[in-house]
């Protein structure tokens, strides 16, 4: 099938685009910014994971340039909406209204044009940060303003797509981890270990869902291919990888990384844990071990460790 995708230059987006290409699909990626002005890490990630991927931009969602690409390079059986306004998603000042407006700009026009040109389905990437996603403490409230923006974005897209007779799917992410991971807890911990430092876990009691990104990407590509064959309506997949407290999840990674990084890979934990407004427990629903049973875990950690060493080498250069 032919796929028009947004957000392909992000950490998970690059892996998802790579998995789609590996499955034999044709992917055209639309970027919000001109690829010529991307930072080096973004360029390197796409070149490594999805060499030869056709990237066009600047073409923000709903813009005239976006519609031009939809018309000129289509038809596309699938519209994969992976990109979204994120910014500092943990910032309480995150502008929910502005994010929703950017994520759904000219939504009706995009979907009308896509449907006219043969698009069968729309695939939206969701997040466990949203309301009513995954499993955890009830009610399943959004984590933060970013989670509220994602919740409202999904509801708007779902309604608009179903109204136009399109099949609409949602693929919900937890905490993807692996080579090329974006800045955050796991990357901070790994970089500290490689540097011989002792990272600190502020909320070791929180129960979360870490998902190996290569395995997750294969589940995404499989769901995308199935989605275009499904009848009009709403379909969802909420994968689950490694679940447990942050203490146990970090220790799981440490156990695999000690021989690969040749480091002690120790860490400290806040006792008592620092206060947080986040839900104590939030995990996915559908086990990746069932969605993608033939996965090579040692190879995954080998590649991840190599990526950590390479990043440290670039930083030192």
pLDDT band for position 93 (cuts 50, 70, 90)? confident
Examine the pLDDT at 89 and tell me if it is beyond 80.
Answer: no
- What is residue 153's DSSP assignment? H
Q: Can you tell me which residue has the tokens 């104590």?
A: 280
Query: When comparing pLDDT for 316 and 254, which is higher?
Result: 254
pLDDT in tens, 53-79: 999 999 999 999 999 999 999 899 999
Q: Which residues neighbour 211 within 8 Å (Cβ) at sequence distance 6 or greater?
A: 173, 174, 175, 176, 177, 239, 240, 241, 242, 284, 288
Q: Where are the domains of the chain?
A: 2-176+211-240, 178-209+242-284+296-316
- The label of the residue with tokens 């291919």 reads 225
What does the pLDDT average to over 266-279? 96
Query: 216 in helix, strand or coil?
Result: helix
Q: Assess whether pLDDT exceeds 90 at residue 90.
A: no
pLDDT value for 128: 97
In tens, the pLDDT along 97-145 reads 999 999 999 999 999 999 999 999 999 999 999 999 999 999 999 999 9
Q: How many residues in the chain? A: 317
User: Is domain 2-176+211-240 classified as CATH 3.40.50.720?
Assistant: yes
All residues at 6 or more sequence positions from 191 whose CB lies less than 8 Å from its CB, including other chains = 308, 311, 312
Cα dihedral sign, 203-205-206-212? positive
Position 52 confidence tier, pLDDT thresholds 50, 70, 90? confident
Whether the model clears a pTM of 0.95, i.e. scores above it, the answer is yes
pLDDT digits (tens, 9 = 90+) for 195-244: 999 999 999 999 999 999 999 999 999 999 999 999 999 999 999 999 99
Fold of domain 178-209+242-284+296-316: UDP-galactose 4-epimerase; domain 1 (3.90.25)
pLDDT at 103: 97
Mean pLDDT of the chain: 96
Describe the crossing of helices 213-227 and 11-22 by its angle, rounded to 10 degrees.
Answer: 60
Question: By C-alpha distance, which of 52, 49, 10, 48 is closest to 27?
Answer: 52
Q: What is the pLDDT of residue 109?
A: 97
């Amino acid at each position: 099938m032919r796929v028009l995708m947004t957000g392909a230059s992000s950490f998970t987006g690059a892996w998802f685009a790579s998995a789609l290409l590996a499955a034999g699909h044709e992917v055209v990626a639309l970027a919000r910014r001109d690829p010529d002005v991307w930072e080096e890490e973004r360029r390197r990630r796409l070149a490594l994971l999805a060499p030869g991927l056709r990237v066009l931009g600047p073409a923000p969602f709903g813009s005239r340039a976006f519609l031009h690409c939809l018309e000129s390079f289509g038809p596309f059986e699938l519209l994969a909406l992976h990109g979204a306004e994120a910014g500092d998603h943990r910032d309480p000042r995150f502008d929910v209204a502005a994010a929703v407006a950017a994520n759904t700009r000219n939504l009706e026009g995009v979907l009308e044009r896509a449907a006219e040109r043969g698009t069968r389905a729309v695939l939206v990437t969701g997040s466990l940060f949203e309301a009513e996603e995954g499993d955890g403490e009830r009610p399943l409230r959004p984590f933060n303003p970013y989670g509220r923006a994602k919740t409202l974005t999904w509801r708007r897209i779902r309604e608009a797509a179903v109204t136009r007779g399109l099949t609409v799917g949602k693929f919900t992410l937890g905490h993807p981890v692996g080579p090329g991971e974006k800045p955050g807890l796991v990357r901070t911990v790994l970089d500290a270990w490689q540097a011989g430092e002792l990272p600190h876990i502020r909320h070791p009691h929180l129960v979360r869902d870490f998902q190996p990104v290569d395995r997750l990407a294969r589940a995404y590509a499989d769901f995308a291919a199935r989605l275009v064959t499904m009848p009009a309506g709403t379909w969802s997949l909420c994968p689950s990888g490694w679940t447990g407290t942050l203490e146990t999840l970090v220790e799981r990674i440490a156990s695999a990384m000690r021989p690969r990084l040749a480091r002690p890979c120790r860490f400290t934990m806040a006792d008592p844990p620092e206060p947080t407004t986040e839900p104590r427990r939030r995990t996915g629903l559908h086990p990746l071990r069932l969605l993608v049973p033939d996965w090579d875990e040692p190879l995954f950690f080998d590649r991840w460790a190599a990526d950590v060493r390479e990043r440290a080498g670039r930083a030192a250069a």
